[in-house]
Amino acid sequence: MRWRTALVSLCSVVALTPPGATAAPAVPLAGRTTIAAPAAAGQVVVQVPRNVSLPGVCTSAPEVAVTGTAAFVAVVLVPTPYKAGDVDVIFGRLPNGRTFDTVCTMGERRLAAGSYLLTVVHTPGTASVTLALPGIGGRRSLSGLRGVPATAAVLPAFGTPADVKATTGAWGAEGTLARQGLTATVTWLSGSLDAAVFGDCIYPPDAPAGGAPPPLRYAPGCPAGQVAMSWAVRSRSAFFASSALVVPPGSYGLGAWYTVPAGAVTDGGTVGLWVPLA
């Protein structure tokens, strides 16, 4: 089973347009929209003209195609104007080369019509992303996106401590948002996952364990993490999960972990995203 945590707001309302400013008109997405990624990250307001049903599964998403040398590439769509409870959607390519989307984890493979703040962000390298939305005609190319200080990072891994009998693993790192924004993790696992348990966490700036060494901070259970979630892995061979939070400015530790009582993880990792929304 695929999982996704709902987008939760730690604030009331995010104003994506400063008071008194005039919002730029949203750019309609076409049936095939190719987005040229800036050197690091860029943003533009787009319009999805109608509800779109998407094909595929979590880590085989035919509606997204990525070229370029960046190991990880993501297109993040956040409804604008944002309201508490709104849910983001992330499309992209994992470091193992598989395309993904987070729509698959929401119970219905549908992208709702409306306006979105689109952010394309990637690890070092080059990237171009094409989104194919069934039922919408035409082609469009987007370039010259407004540069933003968004970050995508493949999180460093921490291995199994010697005194732990089960096979465990964890990833984690800290990033900073200069203004209100979205933090998110994207995690994938494959191997022999019988009875495995997975979890992810976030360390806000005031978390009491925020200064603990990373292997402890991101260990199973995420000790003292303000937001910590865990699930039993239902699939025996593959797992995909993503979670997201809208948060105030500050430094946030993002991490994920797994425990496999009898088995092994042959491929896996977590990417952290820190994306400003204004």
**Partner residues linked to 264 by β-bridges:** 192
Handedness of CA 204, 209, 213, 214 (dihedral sign): negative
> In degrees, to the nearest 5, what angle opens at C-alpha 246 toward C-alphas 242 and 249?
125
End-to-end alpha carbon distance in the chain:
34
What is residue 55's DSSP assignment?
Answer: -
Question: pLDDT by residue (tens digit) across 174-209?
Answer: 999 999 999 999 999 888 888 888 888 888 877 765
pTM: 0.86
What are the distances in angstroms from CA 82 to CA 21, 77, 79, 117?
A: 17, 11, 5, 9
* Residue 2 predicted with pLDDT over 60: no
What confidence score (pLDDT) does residue 49 get?
A: 94
Question: pLDDT by residue (tens digit) across 93-133?
Answer: 999 999 999 987 666 678 999 999 999 999 999 999 999 99
**Residue 105 backbone phi and psi in degrees, to 5:** -90, 5
What is residue 85's DSSP assignment?
Answer: T
